[in-house]
C-alpha cells in the first residue's frame, strides 16, 4: 500500500520532482464519459486502465490532477505507460487513447528445408 498525502492522493516516490503539466485538456463530456466507463467496469482491462489514467490526470472536470508518477503508482503501472497514454490523448484524441491499435506488421510463415510450414506457437 502506498502512503497517502494530506489530500488523499498516493505519495509519489522522489517527492522533489517537478510537477508535469497536463498534456491535453479533456472536455467535460469526455471526462464524464471516462467516469461512466470506469464506473460501469465494462470493457477490456486495457481500456479501463487508459480511462483511469485520463480521469486521474485531469484537474479540470473533477479529476484530482495527479502527476504521471502518482498515477502510475496508484494504478500499479509504469510511469512511461502513463506518459504514452496521456500523449496519445493530447495528439490523437480520446478514442485513439482508449482503442487498441492493431499491429501493422504481417507475420510470414516459415518453411523448413523440406518445404513444411513451421507454425510459430507464441
Q: What is the 3-state secondary structure (H, E, C) of the chain?
A: CCCECCCCCECCCCCCCCCCCCCCCCCHHHHHHHHHHHHHCCCCHHHHHHHHHHHHHCCHHHCCCCCHHHHHHHHCCCHHHHHHHHHHHHHHCHHHHHCCCCCCCCCCCEECCCCCEECCCC
Question: Is residue 111 over pLDDT 80?
Answer: no
pLDDT, one tens digit per residue, over 44-103 is 999 999 999 988 877 765 567 788 899 999 999 999 999 999 999 889 888 999 988 777
Q: What pTM was computed for the model?
A: 0.63
Q: What is the pLDDT of residues 14-43, one digit of tens each?
A: 544 444 444 556 788 888 888 899 999 988
More confident residue, 121 or 79: 79
pLDDT at 75: 93
The answer for residues whose C-beta is within 8 angstroms of residue 95's C-beta and 6 or more apart is none
Amino acid at each position: 500500500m502506498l502512503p497517502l498525502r494530506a489530500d488523499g492522493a498516493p505519495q509519489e516516490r522522489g517527492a522533489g520532482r517537478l510537477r508535469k503539466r497536463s498534456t491535453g485538456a479533456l472536455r467535460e463530456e469526455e471526462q464524464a464519459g471516462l467516469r461512466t466507463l470506469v464506473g460501469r467496469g465494462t470493457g477490456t482491462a486495457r481500456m479501463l486502465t487508459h480511462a483511469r489514467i485520463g480521469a486521474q490526470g485531469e484537474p479540470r472536470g473533477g479529476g484530482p490532477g495527479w502527476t504521471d508518477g502518482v498515477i502510475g503508482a496508484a494504478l500499479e503501472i509504469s510511469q512511461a505507460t502513463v506518459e504514452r497514454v496521456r500523449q496519445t490523448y493530447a495528439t490523437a484524441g480520446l478514442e485513439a487513447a482508449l482503442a487498441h491499435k492493431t499491429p501493422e506488421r504481417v507475420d510470414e510463415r516459415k518453411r523448413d528445408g523440406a518445404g513444411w510450414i513451421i507454425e510459430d506457437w507464441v
